[in-house]
A and B are shown apart, each in its own frame.
Chain A
Amino acid sequence: MLEQFILVFATLVGAPLAGGLLFGIDRKITARLQGRYGPPVIQPFYDFFKLLGKEHIAVSRLQFIWIYGYLVFMVVSLIFLVLKSDILLLVFLLGFAGVSLVLGGFSTKSPYAHFGANRELLQIMAYEPVLLLFAIGVYAQNGSFLISEIFKQDKPLLFSLWPLFLAVLYVLTIKMRKSPFDIATSHHGHQEIVKGVTTEYSGPYFALFHLAEWYEIVLLLGIISLFWANPLWVGILIALVAFLLELLVDNIAARMTARWMVRLSWSIGLLLGVINIAYIYLTKGVS
């Protein structure tokens, strides 16, 4: 029990540090790829503390509840991951986090935030089924939704679930809000109409959004590292390589429309997932 408390505490403190650093590395590498020098690696932390010190302009009271909801759901799903709990529940919690963000966008009167919220909704529609299929794939392989069961297997999931791995990589691009799928809001200025779903957040509440994103990136890379859970360091290595790949894709790809994203995700992502699961069941036999 005490061990679990320490683990949760370490996650609460460590994940934002790691996430912020990852985003700093992201900005640095992106700048280098564009032939620029780029900001210092700890730039996201400067941004965070600056935002905390700024005035917040309230445009609706509900908006703040939703941004807290986004943060809390994100943190809880990360805790589910580190406590090696149920992966199906984790996927649903992640969905709740996304929906909180959408409702936050809709709770204001700004048309730009509404645009962003609509697009975020499309994003959820695009990635949620794929993640769900991933959970089902894990179940098909291990006979259990528990993450702790994944750690008990000697054979990494990557061997049997590699089509789903590709689909989850695709989800990573959507969730990281990177080109070609920086649809709902973007990290670089002047891409989304004003600032998409985050348009109406200012000061400390925008800082909270950043904080939630830091937890999110750690969570996503954590999910990817599950594909090679034994030994875990290989999985983490795979996740970091996936992260770098994402940055490369971000810089060489143009922005795509939301419809294109949904179409691609539902055709290729779902197809890969379904074939993968069907194959596992056919070879193992439904018992």
Chain B
Amino acid sequence: MGLMQTSRVKSPWILHFDNSSCNGCDIEVLACLTPLYDVERFGMVNMGNPKHADILLITGPVNRRTARVLKNLYDQVPDPKVVVAVGTCASTAGVFHNCYNILGGVDKVIPVDVYVPGCSVRPEAIIDGVVMALQKLASL
């Protein structure tokens, strides 16, 4: 791996976006940042600004309102980027699948690279998903 690839894998900055989740998955995403899991060990930082992010962590099913926002955020993240759908809802819409306002999983709006199932998803699984996303990022 070249210097660029190594740096890419070592410094994934994360953008966390909540579509319309029940907040269960969001709490687990934030749990990753706490001293117990401390993802900053791997250089991961929760950015809160799409223009600085590398990895999008999307939670919750897409509804008619958030679809546009999600698309917009995805376009604002500079390449190379990867998308991780965190939780069953983000992957398939889960328990919300036949609600009147729900379009479906995140992949209905933007391309998804890694699906992390679970309701709610465990922090270990999120970290695992991000590591898988990093492997993809290294090969881009």
Judge if A55 is at the interface, Cβ distance under 8 Å.
yes
Known: A39-B41, A189-B47. A46 touches B78 (CB 8 A): no
Give Cα distance in the complex from A53 to B5, angstroms: 9
Task: Output the residue of B4, B11, B38, B54 with the most chain A CB within 10 A.
Answer: B11
Judge if A200 is at the interface, Cβ distance under 8 Å.
yes
Kindly provide the distance from the CB of B131 to the nearest chain A CB, expressed in whole angstroms.
Answer: 15
Q: How many residues of B contact A (CB 8 A)?
A: 26
Kindly identify which residue among B4, B40, B52, B80 contacts A36, using a CB–CB cutoff of 8 Å: B40
Judge if B76 is at the interface, Cβ distance under 8 Å.
yes
Known: A46-B11, A53-B7, A56-B78. A38 touches B41 (CB 8 A): yes
Judge if B111 is at the interface, Cβ distance under 8 Å.
no
Instruction: Indicate if the CB atoms of B78 and A55 lie closer than 8 Å.
Output: yes
Q: Enumerate B1-60 residues with CB–CB distance to A below 8 Å.
A: 3-4, 6-8, 10-11, 13, 35, 38, 40-43, 45-49, 51-52, 54
Interfacial chain B residues near A202, Cβ < 8 Å: 51-52, 78
Kindly provide the distance from the CB of A73 to the nearest chain B CB, expressed in whole angstroms.
Answer: 23
Known: A46-B10, A47-B7, A202-B78. A195 touches B48 (CB 8 A): yes
Known: A34-B35, A35-B35, A38-B41. A189 touches B7 (CB 8 A): no
Instruction: Indicate if the CB atoms of B10 and A43 lie closer than 8 Å.
Output: yes
Instruction: Indicate if the CB atoms of A36 and B38 lie closer than 8 Å.
Output: yes
| B80 to chain A: closest residue by CB | A54
Instruction: Indicate if the CB atoms of B38 and A50 lie closer than 8 Å.
Output: no
Instruction: Indicate if the CB atoms of B4 and A50 lie closer than 8 Å.
Output: yes
Judge if A18 is at the interface, Cβ distance under 8 Å.
no
Judge if B79 is at the interface, Cβ distance under 8 Å.
yes
Q: Enumerate A38-82 residues with CB–CB distance to B below 8 Å.
A: 38-40, 43, 45-50, 52-57
Known: A54-B80, A195-B49, A206-B52. A31 touches B4 (CB 8 A): no
Known: A35-B35, A206-B52. A54 touches B79 (CB 8 A): yes
Interfacial chain B residues near A48, Cβ < 8 Å: 7
Kindly identify which residue among A31, A53, A55, A194 contacts B38, using a CB–CB cutoff of 8 Å: A31
Interfacial chain A residues near B6, Cβ < 8 Å: 46, 49
Interfacial chain B residues near A189, Cβ < 8 Å: 45-48
Instruction: Indicate if the CB atoms of B11 and A43 lie closer than 8 Å.
Output: yes
Instruction: Indicate if the CB atoms of A52 and B4 lie closer than 8 Å.
Output: yes
Q: Which 4 residue pairs spanning A and B have beta carbons closest together? A: A49-B7, A202-B51, A46-B10, A55-B78
Q: Name A residues whose Cβ lies closer than 8 Å to a Cβ of B.
A: 27, 31, 34-40, 43, 45-50, 52-57, 189-190, 194-195, 198-203, 206
Q: Name B residues whose Cβ lies closer than 8 Å to a Cβ of A.
A: 3-4, 6-8, 10-11, 13, 35, 38, 40-43, 45-49, 51-52, 54, 76, 78-80
9 A-B residue pairs with Cβ-Cβ distance under 8 Å, sorted by A, are: A31-B38, A31-B40, A34-B35, A37-B38, A49-B4, A52-B4, A55-B79, A194-B49, A200-B51
